[in-house]
């Protein structure tokens, strides 16, 4: 009389492991593409938020509000500086880039780091430049009213 065996044979276990290996290889490849795309979208969304904020503040002061809503009280007659803008973005807006933490500013485009937002100010206009994957840049200039 034969005893009935309970459990899996070695062949069955090897087939299951092979299937799991193939599925995980395909999944990891697809997942890395999704995360790269998500980082790019987050970075560009934050870029648009910074541009919208500066446009709104400029329009508010043009309407006679009196002060910019930066972290420190800044009169509408005061000059914009990258340090004041960046302090507000990093502190109050609490933005963290997907590639590099925080929003950085520089006077030149030499800091082309993926995900970094560079804010420069010259002649009363702020330029916001964000570098995304593969060196693609999104740039906007906000002129004060």
Report the pLDDT value the prediction gives residue 71, as an integer from 0 to 100. 65
pLDDT digits (tens, 9 = 90+) for 19-40: 999 999 888 887 877 887 888 8
101 pLDDT band, cuts 50/70/90, is low
Helix (H, G, I), strand (E, B) or coil at 67: strand
pTM higher than the cut 0.75:
no
Q: What percent of the chain has pLDDT over 70?
A: 86
What is the phi/psi pair of residue 98, to 5°? -70, -30
Residue 76 has pLDDT above 90, yes or no: no
Query: From residue 22, how far is each of 18, 31, 33, 68 by CA, in Å?
Result: 6, 14, 17, 56
Domain residue spans of the chain: 12-143
């Amino acid at each position: 009389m034969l005893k009935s065996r309970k459990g899996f044979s070695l062949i069955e276990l090897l087939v299951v492991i092979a299937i799991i290996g193939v599925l995980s290889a395909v999944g990891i490849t697809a997942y890395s593409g999704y995360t790269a795309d998500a980082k790019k979208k987050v970075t560009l969304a934050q870029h648009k938020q910074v541009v919208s904020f500066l446009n709104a503040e400029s329009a508010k002061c043009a309407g006679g509000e009196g002060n910019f809503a930066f972290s420190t009280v800044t009169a509408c007659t005061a000059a914009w500086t990258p340090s004041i803008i960046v302090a507000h973005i990093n502190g109050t807006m609490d933005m963290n880039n997907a590639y590099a933490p925080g929003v950085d500013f520089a006077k030149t485009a030499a800091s082309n780091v993926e995900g970094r937002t560079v804010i420069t100010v010259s002649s009363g206009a702020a330029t916001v430049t964000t570098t995304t994957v593969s060196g693609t840049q999104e740039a906007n200039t906000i002129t004060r009213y």
